[in-house]
Amino acid sequence: ADYLWRQGIAVLRTDDRGVAGSTGNFGAATTGDFARDAVSAVKYLRARPDVMVACIGLVGHSEGSVVATLAANELQEDVAFVVMLAGIGVPIDELLIEQARLLMGVQGASAAQVEANSRVQRIMFQVARSESDSAAAAREIRARCEPLLADLGESDRSVIAAAISPSIESVTSPWFRYLLSYDPGAALGSVRVPVLVLAGERDLQVPPNQNVRAIELALQAGGNHAVETTVFPGLNHQFQTATTGSISEYGMIKETMAPIVLDKIADWIGSKECAE
């Protein structure tokens, strides 16, 4: 935000729901709620006399790319562009299975652990989709995972079993159920404004090989060919210069965001016809 401001691009920053002066309950909110917040933010900006209302855009990172997509569809001609940073282009269950595979791999997990975890994830996602009662869903997940765990060696079993309880709580939450219902192809196919898609080569959370092309194809399938994509070599999910891309590495890197990414965003926004 500070970098864009220094380039003459106004940025609206707000507190999360329930933080400081903001109302609402962040923990009970879904991605759809966050999109409605973004819509309200754009409407606020459009009412300000010191803002170029014809050049208001949305920038979203990771889950924020879903927020930006949903908000752009709601706002239509009231936004001029969308910037997707580490954007999501595939269904959330596909994303999380691949994410876990990559993260576990870089952490040194065994092939058996990775495969077992993927099977557990598939069970969880299937049940979360079919069973609306969270308590019943938790019981079904545990019951269906028991025979899978029984087939594992003791060390592999302990690793996978330790992750099940916190994962059950997450996948049965309203926030996650909403993401499970999100259809990126349909949502992206309705975006009509120019889109900049940026990703880091070493992003293990939203892998570029899985998502960047999927985003581009979904936009084009909807008739939007005003899309530009860039995958930056050596950058992680946070767009930091990274060695492995592991989450544990984020806090050890002094760089907040690689300058090449900041320059790309500012230059692309500045090149829009509305900014001339």
Nearest to 171, CA basis, from 209, 144, 199, 200: 144
Q: Which helix (H) or strand (E) holds 213?
A: helix 208-221
Report CA 263 to chain centroid distance, whole Å: 22
Mean pLDDT (whole number) for 9-19: 90
Q: Which fold has domain 2-90+182-275?
A: Rossmann fold (3.40.50)
Segment 189-233, tens digit of pLDDT:
999 999 999 999 999 999 999 999 999 999 999 999 999 999 999
Segment 15-65, tens digit of pLDDT:
888 898 888 899 899 999 999 999 999 999 999 999 999 999 999 999 999
The pLDDT assigned to 144 comes to 96
Could you tell me the strand order of the sheet in which 227-232 lies? Answer: 57-61, 81-85, 195-200, 227-232
Mean pLDDT (whole number) for 157-184: 93
CA 52 to CA 136: how far, in whole Å?
A: 51
The pLDDT assigned to 272 comes to 85
pTM across the whole model: 0.94
